[in-house]
Amino acid sequence: MKIDRTALIESHLAQVKFIAERLAAKLPPSVHADDLIGAGVMGLLDAAEKFDPSRGILFKTYAEARVRGAMLDHLREMDWAPRALRQRARQVEAAYREIEQAQGRPATEEEVAAALNISLGELHELFSELRTLNITETDAQSRDERSRAIRSEEALDPLDQYQREEAQRQLAAAIERLPLRERQVVALYYLEELTMKEIGAVLGVTESRVSQIHTQAVLRLRAMLEPVRDVFAYI
């Protein structure tokens, strides 16, 4: 059966705009949704070209993975985040890692703030600043979907498959070690796909606080998974 690829593209253009606007809402004003839409359309065109219905995957699922992936690639190429902000993120990760290795338990916000020689309020402000940095580096949902789509195209060799499975196991174990509130936010955001505002309503906190907790969880996970980050694309 011949695929009408033009029809596939036209029927999913609105979804490209939806994904771009949702992603842009999490980023600084300097990042425009139109730029993301342009990258997303290229991803959609690529998806239509490579889509094979015999693999048993819906085009919508496959295309969304390609579209999100193209947008994230565009953001990484822009390198829009200031170098100082990236350095600050590495400092926070290091603080988490050093405290948790020394104490054998999750680091508290107060301990991290003390290690960075800042107040708790300043730490919360830092989490808010680092929130946008996490978009291109830790969008687990997008990368997970993209990874599944890619695996549908090509078989992984045994070593690659083992590395992925081991990294997934370590991520699952790391998530289980998160403090309860951070674990709840991660589950609601990545598994239930709720927005920050919706999560705030569920947990009874502000949207801003949810964002801070999410950033805190991501930084803690990155610190835990430093040894396997090169083989694990989700973190």
Condensed to tens digits (0 to 9), the pLDDT of residues 126-163 reads 988 887 665 545 444 444 444 444 444 444 556 666 66
- Mean residue pLDDT of the chain comes to 80
Report pLDDT for 159: 63
Report pLDDT for 133: 67
Report pLDDT for 114: 96
Q: How far apart are CA 228 and CA 212, in angstroms?
A: 25
Q: What is the dihedral of CA 195, 25, 11, 51, to 10 degrees?
A: -80
Confidence of residue 121 (pLDDT cuts 50, 70, 90): very high
pLDDT tens for residues 63-112?
988 998 888 888 777 765 667 777 888 899 999 999 999 999 999 999 99
Neighbours of 185 (CB within 10 A): 28
Q: How far is CA 31 from CA 22, 23, 163, in A?
A: 12, 10, 34
Average of per-residue pLDDT across 183-209 = 88
Report pLDDT for 158: 66
Report pLDDT for 164: 66
Is 194:188 a contact under the CB 8 Å cutoff? yes
Q: Compute φ and ψ for 202, nearest 5 degrees.
A: -70, -45
Report pLDDT for 1: 57
Average of per-residue pLDDT across 44-59 = 87
